[in-house]
Structure 1
Amino acid sequence: MIRIYRSGATTFERVTADLATWTLPPDVIWIDLVDPVPDEDSAVETALGLSIPTREEMAELEASSRLYREDGATYVTSDIIHNGDADLPSVDPVTFVLTSGPLVTIRYFDPKPFAMLIEKLERQPNLCTTGADLFLQLMEAVVDRASDILSVNAARVEAVANHVFSEGKTVGFQKLITKLGRAHIVNARIEQSLSGLARIFVYVASDERIDHVPDAREHLKSLSSDAASLIAHNQAVAAGINFQLSAALGLINIEQSSIVKVFSLVTVCLMPPTLIGAIYGMNFEHMPELRWIEGYPLAILAMLISGLSPLIWFRRKGWL
């Protein structure tokens, strides 16, 4: 699907004309290719005289495939977080093409920053007059969305920390570790997205459409600073996740050791009574205790003393 945004408009227009004869209107400042088919790619390439990267090319990770200049246009590709309200957000590549005319975006999913920018343009139709302005506004929406997702993830990690280090016996370690694992995955995907944005900001800083415009240059510096601060915050959250995971595993080991210690003590305590019971269960003919009236209660008393003696000894040694 091809969507175009005209200067001063409040919403997108979908291209429904015959692509073979379609021409680009002169006041268009944004071309948004959403899950495009080859015919749509070809129509935009013909209209702009530029090549449009394929989905496979967008997925390549090497820098030369994600950041490059060609025919006077700057191509940058970054992994953008989407489905951020889910437990495990996804990341997929979006390509931005800065041209002397409109901004071109190529994507195969619907990230929330695009909707956020459209809502902003509906309130301020004259906010952007060039493709470079739209690019910076879109980057700002992407950074804001990443910040929101990072805040939610940090709150989840804090909630797990409150549970792990709460007073009293902590239970449900399996669920806690699962939550920490999910938080770690989200943390890694946020890092992936923010790192890609940071590289983009450094690369486009030398683009004449931004470098020669003071307001755009300052806006880009602000975005770079925001991305750097978010990366630092995300790394702090990652350190917290690792610490809490280590703490949870340590508490699990302590709890298991306590359980094993109890079973060991019970076994030791039952050994003397078992020995006594075994002796008197041998049924030898010449065992004088068998004819004692007080023999049975004395045997029970001996069992109790032999069972309690190890407990008293362990407590004095500080093992309990």
Structure 2
Amino acid sequence: LPFHLYASQAQRHVVPCSSAEDVLAGLLDAIIDRVADILEIAQHDIDTLSREIFVSEPRAKRNYNDILSRIGRGYALISQARESLVSFGRLVGFVARPSDLKIPKSAERGFKTITRDITALSDHASFLANNINFVLDATLGLISNEQNSIIKIFSVAAVVFLPPTLIASIYGMNFDFMPELSWIYGYPMALGLMVLFAVLPYFFFKYRGWL
């Protein structure tokens, strides 16, 4: 795409192309502009992910597999952009090094502008990489919190049903002498105890704010 863009601009005489150095500077400038567009797209994707994770979507509707896949694709794209910028920085540094050959003024100015653009875009790519790492850490933290909430619910349910299970186990023993078995209120008393000892832990957990 940058080559086609530069070729169309050169045909319209929008960019200098009177020497090999001018052509190289124009091509590199078009490529750096393309990298800048890619980083802008990556930043938009990161902003969209941040809104989905922290603001808009309820937790129950989030597809964390899709979010992690998008984070991975975004990180790979930013890594490729950073690698490309490093390669182009070395290329421009090699071309603009002092030598016996005179570089046209327009190309020299172009190489200096490209060097500044590469430095700025490299810093921006590093900033985006830090942002996407933060989004990844936040996503993993939310996943861990949801897993802990589920485990907490199961733990509370186990504690709530433990006393009724104990009472039912006691009165399910096959002993010959159990006075409550022949008592007319034995069965309602056992049911009442099971309900009571199931409700008490529930209200205790609600009072402590664990639910």
The verdict on a shared fold, with TM-score over 0.5 as the criterion, is yes
Give the match for residue 220 of structure 1. 111
Contact 1:150–1:187 under 8 Å retained in 2: yes
Q: Which amino acid counterpart does residue 134 of structure 1 have in structure 2?
A: V
Q: Say whether 1:153 aligns with 2:20.
A: no
Q: Say whether 1:166 aligns with 2:41.
A: no
Matched position secondary structure for 1:165: helix
Q: Say whether 1:120 aligns with 2:9.
A: yes
Range 272-281 or range 308-317, more displaced? 308-317
Matched position secondary structure for 1:286: coil
Aligned length: 209
Residues 209 and 121 (structure 1), Cα distance of their counterparts in 2 relative to 1, 3 Å cut: farther
Counterpart pick for 1:142 among 31, 41, 57: 31
Give the match for residue 202 of structure 1. 93
Residues 231 and 126 (structure 1), Cα distance of their counterparts in 2 relative to 1, 3 Å cut: closer
Matched position secondary structure for 2:59: coil
Residues 179 and 243 (structure 1), Cα distance of their counterparts in 2 relative to 1, 3 Å cut: same
Residues 126 and 260 (structure 1), Cα distance of their counterparts in 2 relative to 1, 3 Å cut: closer
Tell me, in whole angstroms, the C-alpha distance in 2 between the residues paired with 1:299 and 1:119.
89
**1:284 Cα deviation (Å)?**
3.0
Of Structure 1 and Structure 2, the greater helix share is in 2
Tell me, in whole angstroms, the C-alpha distance in 2 between the residues paired with 1:281 and 1:210.
101
**1:183 Cα deviation (Å)?**
0.9
**1:209 Cα deviation (Å)?**
8.7
TM-score normalised according to structure 1 size: 0.61
Give the match for residue 105 of structure 1. none
Q: Say whether 1:133 aligns with 2:22.
A: yes
**1:282 Cα deviation (Å)?**
1.5
Of Structure 1 and Structure 2, the greater strand share is in 1
Tell me, in whole angstroms, the C-alpha distance in 1 between the residues paired with 2:209 and 2:157.
16
Contact 1:153–1:186 under 8 Å retained in 2: yes
Contact 2:39–2:125 under 8 Å retained in 1: yes
Residues 219 and 166 (structure 1), Cα distance of their counterparts in 2 relative to 1, 3 Å cut: same
**1:187 Cα deviation (Å)?**
0.9
Tell me, in whole angstroms, the C-alpha distance in 2 between the residues paired with 1:211 and 1:232.
31
Contact 1:204–1:210 under 8 Å retained in 2: no
Q: Which amino acid counterpart does residue 188 of structure 1 have in structure 2?
A: S
Unaligned runs of 5+ in 1: 1-111
Q: Which amino acid counterpart does residue 32 of structure 2 have in structure 1?
A: V
Contact 1:136–1:219 under 8 Å retained in 2: yes
Matched position secondary structure for 1:166: helix
**1:207 Cα deviation (Å)?**
5.4
Deviations 1:231-281 (A, max 9, x none): 111111000011111111111111111111111111111111111111111
Tell me, in whole angstroms, the C-alpha distance in 1 between the residues paired with 2:200 and 2:185.
22
**1:123 Cα deviation (Å)?**
2.2
Contact 1:194–1:231 under 8 Å retained in 2: yes
Tell me, in whole angstroms, the C-alpha distance in 1 between the residues paired with 2:84 and 2:132.
19
Residues 120 and 178 (structure 1), Cα distance of their counterparts in 2 relative to 1, 3 Å cut: same
* Structure of greater relative contact order (alpha carbons < 8 Å, 6+ residues apart): 2
Tell me, in whole angstroms, the C-alpha distance in 2 between the residues paired with 1:138 and 1:149.
17
